Amino acid sequence: MTTQDNSVAGSALGRHVDYPQGYDPGLLYPIARTLGRHAIGLRDAALPFIGHDRWHAYELSWLDAKGKPQVATATFEVPAEAPNLIESKSLKLYLNSFNASRFDGAEAVLAHIAEDLSRVAGAPVRVAFGLPPMVDAGDAEDAISIDALDVAIDHYGPPRTAFIAIDADGVVEETLASALLKSNCPVTGQPDWAHVRIAYRGPRLDRVGLLRYLVSFRDHAEFHEQCVERIFSDLLVHARPERLSVEARYTRRGGLDINPWRATPNCVTAVARREARQ
C-alpha cells in the first residue's frame, strides 16, 4: 500500500477510478479529523463531545465459496474519537471490491470489514449486518420540527453563528428537528442533504434564529462529519446548554448514507433510526 497523507487532495473524490476487480482494502482512504477540527478551534486532546459516525450500507455483495453471489445490508459505527474519518467514495469502492471475491461465509466478510475499517479509522469500528428501523410515519420521536416557521431567509453561507439566540430566562428540555440542512462536498461541490435533530437542556433556543443558522450551511463546503461538529460547537458556545446532542441523518449516495452524532458526555447514545429520505 502506498503512503497516504490523510488529506483530501489524495483521495479518489472528483477523479475517475476504475471499478475494482477484487477485494482490495487498499482502496480505503482516511482523512485526518484534525483538518476540520482545527478550523473550528477543536483539539483532539480536549474534545467537548462523545459520538460516532454511523454508516448504512445498502449495496453489499460477495461470492460464497462456490461462487454464488450473496447480498446483504450492513451498519458500520466509527467512534468520534478515531483520528481519521473514512472518505465516502473510497468506502464505496472498497465495498464494491467484495463483489467478485469469494469468502468462506458471511462472518468472514464481517471480520474483514471490521478489521479494515478499524485500521483506516485508527480505532475499533463496530460492524454488523442489517440496518436500523425506519422512523415511523406517525412517530415524531418527540421532536418539534421548525421547518414550517414563517421566516424570510437570504443568507446561505458561510454558517453564521450570529443567528443563534437564546432566552436566558429559565431552562427548557426539548428536541428540535429540521429537514432543511444542506451542505456541499468540499471537493466535488455535489449537494449533501440531511435531517438534523438537536436535543438539549438549557436556555430556550430561538427557533427562527436556529432555522436561519441551519440554512446558512446551504452553500457551505464541508464533509458531513465536520458540519455536525461545527453545529455542535457553535451551539455549545453560543447557546450554553447544560446538555446537547446533535445528529444529522444524511441521504443516501452511492449505496451509502452517513449519520454523524455528537453529544456532551452526559447524554445517552442516540437511538439508531433511518429517515424516509434515506
The response to whether 182 counts as a known ligand-binding position is: no
The response to whether 87 counts as a known ligand-binding position is: yes
Task: For residues 224 and 177, give the distance between their C-alpha atoms in angstroms, rounded to a whole number.
Answer: 17
Grid cell for residue 258 = 452517513
Q: 126 has which bridge partners?
A: 77
The response to whether 88 counts as a known ligand-binding position is: yes
Terminal-to-terminal C-alpha distance of the chain: 34
**Active-site annotation, residues:** 185, 192
Grid cell for residue 152 = 424570510
Determine which helix (DSSP H) or strand (DSSP E) holds 196, and give its type and residue range: strand 191-205
Tell me if residue 117 falls in helix, strand or coil: helix
Do the beta carbons of residue 231 and residue 48 sit within 8 Å? no
The response to whether 224 counts as a known ligand-binding position is: yes
DSSP string, 46-101: G-S-EEEEEEEEEEEEEE-TTS-EEEEEEEEEEETTSSEEEPHHHHHHHHHTTTT-
The response to whether 86 counts as a known ligand-binding position is: yes
Tell me if residue 86 falls in helix, strand or coil: strand
The response to whether 16 counts as a known ligand-binding position is: no
Grid cell for residue 237 = 458556545
The response to whether 15 counts as a known ligand-binding position is: no
Task: Please give the annotated binding residues, written as ranges.
Answer: 86-89, 224-225, 253-254
Task: Please give the annotated binding residues for NADPH, written as ranges.
Answer: 88-89, 253-254
Task: Please give the annotated binding residues for substrate, written as ranges.
Answer: 86-88, 224-225
